[in-house]
Structure formats: C-alpha cells, structure tokens
Chains A and B, each alone.
Chain A
Amino acid sequence: MLALMVPGLAFFLVFFYVPMLGNVIAFQDYQPFIGFQDSPFVGFANLQELFADPAFWEAVRNTLVFALLQLLLFFPAPLALALLVNSLISGRTRRFVQSIVYLPHFISWVLVVALFQQVLGGAGLLNNFLREHGMQPWDLMTNPDTFPLLITGQAIWKDVGWGMIIYLAALASVDQSLYESAAVDGAGRWRRMWHITLPAVRSVTILLLVLRLGDILSVGFEQFLLQRDAVGARAAEVLDTYVFYHGVVYGDWGIGAAAGLVKGVVGALMIWGANKVAHAFGEQGVYSK
C-alpha cells in the first residue's frame, strides 16, 4: 500500500511543497545560475521595491476592477440562465439548450480568444459587416476602454453554461408539491420564485460565492496574457501577468516571486475569511473544522 502512495506523494512534494519553499526567492537577490541555495538574502527589499512600483499598483487596481465586474455580471449569470432553462416546459428544448451552452467550457482560452477575434476583431465578421454597409468599424478586441466588458463577456460566454449545472441540480431537487401548495394558496409566479426557488439555491450560491471570493485575485490569467499585446499593459495587466512579465520576461526573479507570494497569501486569507463569513451566516462554506 505504501508503494502505491509513492508516485502521487512524490508529485506533491516535488511540484507543490518544494516550489512552496522556493518562495524564499521573494526574499533573495535570486541569480538563476547559482540557484536559490546560494543566492544572497536581501530581507524585505523585494517587497519594498514591489510596493514602490506604480506598475504593481496598477496591476492590483486592474485585478480588483475585473474581479468586481465578474462578481457583478458573471457571478449571477449562471443562476439567471438556470432559472430560465428550468422554466422551459419542453424537455427536448431544455436538453438542446443545455448541450449548446455547456460546450464552450471545454475549449481552451486560446480558442475562445481566437473565436472572439473572428467575430469581433478588426478583420472579423462584425467589422466586415459594418464596413460593407458603410459604417465605422468598431474594433472591440484592441480597445482598452471596453476591455473590461470584453473580458467579462468572454468569461460569461465560456462558463455560463457550466456554472448553470450546479444550480439546475439544486432546482431539480426542490419538492414540486411546495410550488403546488403555494399556487393553491394564491402565490403568483414571482412570489413562488422569491419564497421557494431562491431559498432553495441559497446554500449553493453562498458556497460558490465563497469559492469565488477565495479565488478573487485570479481573474483569468491566460485570458489576459493572450490579449495583453492587443490592448496594452495599462489596460490588461493583472497580478498574474505582472508576475509573469516582471519575473520571467524581464528577469526580476525576486520581484516576480514577491508579487506571486503576496497574491498567494492574500488569496489564502480570502478563502479563510470568506469561510468565516459563511459560517457566521449558518452556512457550511467550503470546509468545516
């Protein structure tokens, strides 16, 4: 039995716990050719330099803006879609809609961005149409001002169906006789939704919200990396791309690692805090002690 454990355990040690220790780079003047055993320690110098870098704060600000937009627009979308799909009477229509909206979840971000370019890009379908009809082209893929909405739109397009699954399951487990009694007692469509449907999805919603809050600093790394060149760093730099560009591309290893560490620690604190809040509301959250 112990032998069966070895490969998996070795994986977690080598590719999780060793890199975890490797975060000491954040406190070193890391030199790739001498490795992190021998690189000199510099204390909190990297963190100080990081916090003094306006580009870092811009990345923080962008991350928070995108996170907020996702919470406001992306988070409720699967619930709304689930309510809509759940209200369809015909099982065939319902299954058809489901099999269409689940699909984009399984394709890669590279493909999603490529598809969006073909439809909304400067040489895409929309602009071809606009030009043909003598209108001004409107390139959404390279416009920094509309970029937050584009990003949120892509996220919704890709994952609204996937997010809907869990709500549909929660809705399907509601006792149908509740609706019947409520209707007999004179509660209309909207009152039934307010008093029966929404309470039924409350736990799931809170659970998903906790998960989302814990992961709030990861707003979609690949999505931003892929489109940063098109709209520029000012609009598209988020914490993850900051780590990548400053650490790997520009070779400021210590700074990159420090930014990554800050993100990791804040993220873990967010999960912990969000769970506390969930427990305070009498919900289970992600874990219970």
Chain B
Amino acid sequence: MTLQIPPLTRRQRRVPDRRPAWEEPPSPVGNATKAVVIAVIVAVMVLPFLVVLSTSLASREEITAAGGFVLFPTEPTLEAYRTILSGGLITRAVLVSAGITAVGTALSLLTTITLAYALSKPGVPGRKPVLLLVLFTLLFAPGMIPMYVVVKELGLLDSYWSLILPGLVNAFNLVVMRAFFMNIPEELYQAARIDGAGDFRILTRIVLPLSKGVVAVVGLFYAVTYWNAFFNAMLYLNDSGKWPIQLILRTYVVQNKQLTGDALGVTNMPPQQAISMAVVMIALLPILALYPFLQKYFTKGVLTGAIKG
C-alpha cells in the first residue's frame, strides 16, 4: 500500500504583480465587491483576537463603563497578567503545559526520527511488516474507551505521562520524515560506512544535519499539538492541580467558573473579564510567537510534497 498525495511545486511560483496583457480589465463593480469581501474576511478573522487583547489590557473603570468589552483601552494596564502570573493556579498550569510541550516534543521527535530512519533503509529486517503496521494506524482508530483502559492499566492515570505517551508518535509525521530520509543519496551512507560509522553515528552526523527543515516542521507540529491538547487531560487527569492551561481555559473561561483571589494567590483582584481575557492571551501567546515559523515551513508545501510510500 502506498500513500499518495499529488505532487505539488515546492515553491509557489511567483506570479508577477502585474495583470497580464491578455486579461480583460475588471469591472469597477467587480473590483469593489472583491475588495469588500476580502476586507470582511480579514475583519472576521482578526476581530476576536483584537477584542480579547484589548479587554485583557483594560482597567476596571473602562470595563464597567463599556459593559464588558473594550476595543480601545485608553490606559492599558498589565495588571491582569501580573495577577495570573504571580503564582497560583494559572501560573502552575502554564508551567505544566510548557513542561509537557518541551518534554513531549523532545520524546516525540526522538521516537519519530529513530523509527523513520530505521524504516527508510532498505535491507533492515522486518521493515515491510513494521511499515504496514504503521500505515494501518492511519486508517483506523482504536477508540477512546480501550485507550482509556490501557492508560489506566499501565497506571498512568493522574500522571503527566498520560499527556505524552498515548500520542507520542504521529504516523503521518513519521511517513513524512521517512520520505525525507529516503531522498538522501545512498552514496553518503556508503561513504560513511566505509569510514567505519555505525547506524547511530550516521543518523546523528549525516542524516540529521541534512534534515534540519523536516525536523523543524515535525517538531513544531508536535509542539503545537502538545500545547493545544485538552481532551486527554480531561480524560486522564482527575487532579485539577495537574491541569494544563487548555483545561483551565475550558473551566474558567468557556464554562465561566468563577476564579477567586485565593486560587490565584492574590488579595486584590482585577476585573474578572480582564483576567479571563489575559488567560486566553497567555494560552495564545506561544502559538503567536511560533506563527512566523509555522507559516514559513508549513505553507511551503514541505509537508504536502513529500509523501510517497
């Protein structure tokens, strides 16, 4: 069985910024419609982020005066951020998420790289059946209940490992990485082998330095997945002291449970609305920080062009 996605050009061809001579000029009405549609799409995409950012910076007086939301805070204050990051529930959740993301991404990359490498070389015993085992996982999902039972019987309930191990390797990432490794010229391997390098040495000294791009893409993908994960925490963690930020967000912002000064470890609370929005921003921030890289790597078709079993 092979997976196939139609080959795409690696780099989108730059169409010059001029209308070709043969193309009829657009009607003014058509042009205006297009501009309006684009403007509306951009506004709809950006507005929610703006609302959240501005309200998180607004002061109590402004929020009360505006009845909840402030689009343009006149005296922006970081009070809400100071409050949630000064220790207590949310600080802890941010640290948990950051830890899970860091450790999880490292372990996922390690496991994915080693298996992808082993499966990329012809002549490795058991390569075909193992590859089939991996590809089959793309077609079928074992189901939530059996997963829960396995995690429970392994004694991982209420352990941070339950947020990492069940999703350690993504078969799709593995296939992408393997395809990339397969494109490395065979001569490089042979030369290294003649020089006496073993499999592991070849991996660290030759394959990985040549694969920085794909490792970055897959690493970013894992990091975003770990940071964004919420359901596995809800399923496997009963102890709310261990919750990651996404589950905090669900409980205190989506379900609107009251956050108290006690839980946050402060006596003087900024307005609830500003606190909620600051939590949203904190959960959003790492993604925004990574976004330039995400956009650069993902959209160049690195992921889409590479799949061929």
Contacts and interface: CB of A to CB of B under 8 A. Distances in A.
Given A2-B125, A114-B254, A131-B67, A169 B301 contact: yes
B110 A19 contact: no
A173 B9 contact: yes
Contacts of A132: 67
A222 B139 CA distance: 20
Given A1-B121, A11-B111, A18 B150 contact: yes
Given A8-B116, A11-B165, A225-B234, 4 more contacts: A15-B168, A22-B147, A157-B45, A222-B230
Nearest 8 interchain pairs by C-beta: A8-B115, A22-B146, A260-B143, A108-B228, A19-B142, A19-B146, A115-B48, A257-B145
Nearest to B39: A97
B124 A2 contact: yes
Contacts of B52: 115, 118
A264 interface: yes
Contact of B42 (A100, A124, A172): A100
A89 B18 contact: yes
25 contacts: A1-B199, A4-B199, A5-B124, A8-B174, A11-B169, A12-B134, A22-B149, A88-B34, A98-B299, A100-B42, A106-B287, A108-B227, A111-B283, A115-B49, A131-B67, A165-B301, A166-B304, A169-B301, A172-B12, A176-B20, A179-B22, A207-B6, A247-B148, A256-B144, A257-B145
Size range of the interface on B? Answer: 35 or more
Contacts of B44: 157
A7 B2 contact: no
A22 to B, nearest CB: 3
Interface string B216-233: 000000001001111100
Contacts of B49: 115
A23 B247 CA distance: 28
Nearest to A121: B256
A264 B137 CA distance: 12
Contacts of B12: 168-169, 172
B142 A248 contact: no
A221 B115 contact: no
A114 B280 contact: yes
Contacts of A282: none
A110 interface: yes
Interface of B: 1-6, 8-9, 12-15, 17-20, 22-24, 34, 37-38, 41-42, 44-49, 51-52, 55, 66-69, 110-112, 114-119, 121, 124-126, 130, 133-134, 137, 139-150, 152-154, 165-169, 171, 174, 199-200, 203, 224, 227-231, 234-235, 246-247, 249-250, 253-255, 277, 280, 283-284, 287, 290-291, 294-295, 298-299, 301, 304
B230 A189 contact: no
A35 B153 contact: yes
Given A114-B254, A119-B48, A89 B41 contact: no
Contacts of B66: 128
B280 A103 contact: no
A197 interface: no
B303 to A, nearest CB: 9
A145 interface: no
A264 B149 contact: no
Contact of B124 (A1, A16, A110, A180): A1
Interface of A: 1-2, 4-5, 7-9, 11-12, 14-23, 25, 30, 32, 35-36, 81, 84, 87-93, 96-104, 106-111, 113-119, 123-125, 128, 131-132, 157, 161, 165-166, 168-170, 172-173, 176, 179-180, 183-184, 188-189, 203-204, 207, 214, 221-222, 225-226, 229, 240, 243-244, 247-248, 253, 256-257, 260-261, 263-264, 267-268, 271, 284, 286-289
A46 B24 CA distance: 65
Given A11-B111, A97-B42, A172 B304 contact: no
Contacts of B111: 7-8, 11
B137 A100 contact: no
A68 to B, nearest CB: 22
A61 B228 CA distance: 29
